[in-house]
Amino acid sequence: MTDRIDDLVASLDSLVRRGRGRWTRSACGVTRSEREIPALLDGDAYVPATSRARVLLVSGLSGRPDDVAQAVRALGVFAAGGPQLASEIALSAVPCGNPDGLAADADPGNGAGGDPSTGYPSEGNYFHDQQNPETRHLWRWVGFQAPDRVLELRSGNHTRWEANQSAGLMAPAVGAMPLRDDGSLLAALGTGNPNGLGAIPGLRLTAPAHHVSGELGRLWSLVTQFPDWGPSPARHALDSRRSRSKLRLASILDTAYGRHLDPVVYTQGVPISGRLRLAQLGPTGPGVALEIASMLDESRLGASDPFGDQPRPSNLAGVLWGAELAEATGDRRWSQLIVNVADRYQAGDPGAAPPPSDPDFRTEDMFMNGAILGRAFDITGDERYLELLTRFLGDGGIQQESGLFWHCRPVPFFWGRGNGFAAMGLSETLTHLPEEHPSRAAILSMYLKQMDAVRRYQQPSGMFPQVLDVPGSYQEFTATCMFGYAMTRGLRRGWLDDSFLESVRHGWQGVTERIDDEGNVVDACTNTGVQGNLREYLDRPAVSGIDDRSGGMALWFAVELERLARQ
């Protein structure tokens, strides 16, 4: 029954109002029916440092109404505890981890053949599992929130405390029995190295409604007094990742990416450019540039046609590093390569996209065309390259009144990376477009309108969603890097005011938390063409590991941030 979901949302909104700024309502996932998994977030849930103990309350994984009511009741009791309790504990909550089950009375499942109360740690199918998407969303979201403790609530006839393997001395303090390895979220969080970070201590309270207040009161009284209450191992791991400087993280990415160009495509070209930009920031001499030039000499660029018979803009943008390499080495053939590539663009019919651009004006081409045609103008001073580029941007018509971009003309969805391509395309174009150019004011207006719209969708973690306007769609790595880069370029060039600094810093926090010391990333949307419906965008697989597209975008973001700091 959807009335149950409506009642839950109304209860959470009431708690937000009562909390007077303590909580915000968010979402931590999307179900197969495209229903958001609601969450209540304390203001300190993601801040790098706080003196308050961060606790995440989780309930309703079964979808049972009694469990959900237990969680809402517990939140109400906590809210009634007054400012002293709130000053000691930052309590966030996922009161119903299985809203489809709650809505459909699908006990113990979710109505799609899955059961979010078990199946942890969740492996594979991120975030497109046909039966158990909830487990993927919860596993990643809880892991990267990294609370100090997780508290699971269940309704039952008898009062019982259980503790996972990492609970430590808190277990005997509340009289908890060891939690068996039952495939539950709580058990899996306490074992091994969840999400590549670290364990999260957890307790489970099963109790009748009239015992909950007293039992939780006993737990809260232990929080600030207990000797081993402190940041969880997962939190320590995120703290360590955040402590790396921008240059340190960029050097990690430099080691992992930009080492080949086969095939010739932007996913290889961006990290090569990133390596050259990084080298400009330090006293490394021409070594990196010469190494890259040698590598490129051995690549397919020596072939008669390294781009294939019908190259797309994504292939042509594979050489966007040409001017940077020419400047570093003094070898002008690399900048000439950009001019040769730009000459493949044709004017086309009035109002049409210039071939080889997609005729439906895809946002990907905003970036590819901006990167190549803008650089070709810088190299040659030939206005025809700007004419092609500015006409393409002006004729597209895919930016909506909100400021966001559809993926292309026939596809009315606000894909995160699609908007990232638009943001980068506009920022690349503005970088190369002379101040006096007649189209500059219109393109700057497009950029400013999008930047203002985009930051409203930034998550409390600093990340941006896979689909911007769908609460709970997964927190996607590349879009966050792309928006961060475009905003940082705008700050550095004076297009944006200082109010965007917080969004950039927040985005960098989310990005750096999701890069390990080998350059592996977390949850980067895989290669995505135009999709047929919203579900297909929500279901695009997320890559966790080495990913050239992500590594290159993160490297550009890191270097641009360092340039801004030095400026």
DSSP string, 429-498: HHHHS-TT-TTHHHHHHHHHHHHHHHGGG--TTS-EESBTTSTT--EEHHHHHHHHHHHHHHHHHTSS-G
pLDDT in tens, 414-465: 999 999 999 999 999 999 999 999 999 999 999 999 999 999 999 999 999 9
Which distant-in-sequence residues (6+ apart) come within 8 Å of 141 by Cβ?
28, 29, 39, 475
Quick one: pLDDT band at residue 21, thresholds 50, 70, 90? Answer: confident
Confidence class of residue 196 from pLDDT cuts 50, 70 and 90?
very high
pTM comes to 0.96
For residues 271 and 552, the answer to whether their CB atoms sit within 8 Å is yes
128 and 541 Cβ atoms separated by less than 8 Å = yes
**In this model, does residue 492 exceed pLDDT 80?**
yes
Spatial strand order in the sheet of 202-207: 23-30, 36-42, 89-94, 53-58, 149-155, 202-207, 160-163, 177-178
pLDDT value of residue 224: 67
**2-240, CATH topology level:** Aminopeptidase (3.40.630)
Do the domains spanning 2-240 and 246-566 agree at the CATH topology level?
A: no
In the predicted model, what is the mean pLDDT of residues 262-282? 95
Given a cut of 70, whether residue 84 has pLDDT beyond it is yes
**Virtual CA dihedral for 408, 257, 491, 439, nearest 10 degrees?**
-40
Average model confidence (pLDDT) across the chain: 94
pLDDT above 60: residue 1: no
The token pair that represents 504 in the structure block: 């950039």
- Tell whether domain 246-566 is in CATH 3.40.920.10: no
3-state SS, residue 153: strand
| Half-sphere exposure at residue 353, Cβ-oriented, CA atoms within 13 angstroms | 22
Cα distance between residue 202 and residue 180, in whole Å: 13
Return d(Cα 261, Cα 552) in angstroms, integer.
13
- 72, 129, 431: which is closest to 138 by C-alpha? 129
106, pLDDT greater than 70:
no
Residue ranges covered by each domain of the chain: 2-240, 246-566
Q: How far apart, in Å, are the Cα atoms of 190 and each of 54, 143, 164, 305?
A: 16, 11, 5, 55
Cα-Cα end-to-end distance for the chain: 57
pLDDT single digits (tens) 510-538? 999 999 999 999 999 999 999 999 999 99
pLDDT band for position 223 (cuts 50, 70, 90)? confident
Looking at 178-192, 278-292, 414-428, which range is the least confident one?
278-292
Whether 254 contacts 275, CB under 8 Å: yes
pLDDT, position 222: 84
d(CA 524, CA 146): 20
Model confidence over 47-64: pLDDT tens digits? 998 889 999 999 999 999
